[in-house]
Amino acid sequence: MHAGHIAFALQSLQAAKLDRIYFLPERRPRDKQQVEHFAHRVAMIKRAIKPHPQFDVMELVDVSFSVERTLPFLRKEFDGDELVFLFGSDVAAGLAVWPNSERLLDDSELVIGLRSQDSGKELKKVIDKWPSQPKTVTMFPSYAPDVSSGLIREALRGRKPAKGSLNSVERYSDHNWLYVSLAVDAT
């Protein structure tokens, strides 16, 4: 969890006129290596969102999320509410190739925060070619387009400052000895 996530969520509240935002961490994030235990990541999210009463964290039992399993659960959990999904442009560009993506796209609204390397015009062209179209797409440049979880994890491992790192997350990480390599150099 970093300042980019918080900034994007705050921007999304306003841009899409949302009432509440739920952060849904995966127990085993796909395509990410060297992430900390789920309980630690949830604790860091809770600390990071504490100043924002319109934010919450939702702990799902699925190890990894899928449209097939997770979307029906969310629709049941939020019965009668409009679901709006928030994605960074780096993730949004590939949504149409997710298994069962049409189920997600056909009946949902998307909010997309543009990363520095992505163009809104180019992403719109990609979205227009999707076989299934979302109800609406709200897209805007992120206030923190260069903040990266990977770079923050790397900085925490080296006990160095990182752009976009949150004090609450750094304190939790230090207190719980997270992102620390205990390997000893034998030279």
Is the per-residue pLDDT at 174 higher than 60?
A: yes
Task: Residue 156: name the closest of 41, 63, 10, 53 by CA.
Answer: 41
The three-state secondary structure class of 91 is helix
Domain that holds residue 136: 3-147
Helix (H) or strand (E) holding 21: strand 21-23
d(CA 167, CA 165): 7
- Higher-confidence residue of 6 and 155: namely 6
Range in 32-36, 117-121, 183-187 with the lowest mean pLDDT: 183-187
- Is 5 in contact with 48 (CB distance < 8 Å)? yes
9 lies in some domain: yes
27 lies in some domain: yes
pLDDT in tens, 87-129: 999 898 889 999 999 999 987 899 999 998 889 999 999 999 9
Is the per-residue pLDDT at 85 higher than 90?
A: yes
173 lies in some domain: no
Helix (H) or strand (E) holding 111: strand 109-114
The two tokens of residue 60 are 């799902």
Range in 1-5, 33-37, 171-175 with the lowest mean pLDDT: 33-37
176 lies in some domain: no
19 lies in some domain: yes
**Count of structural domains within the chain:** 1
184 lies in some domain: no
Whether pTM > 0.85 for this model: the answer is: yes
Is the per-residue pLDDT at 181 higher than 90?
A: no
93 lies in some domain: yes
179 lies in some domain: no
The two tokens of residue 90 are 């780096």
The pLDDT of residue 178: 82
CATH code for the domain of 56: 3.40.50.620
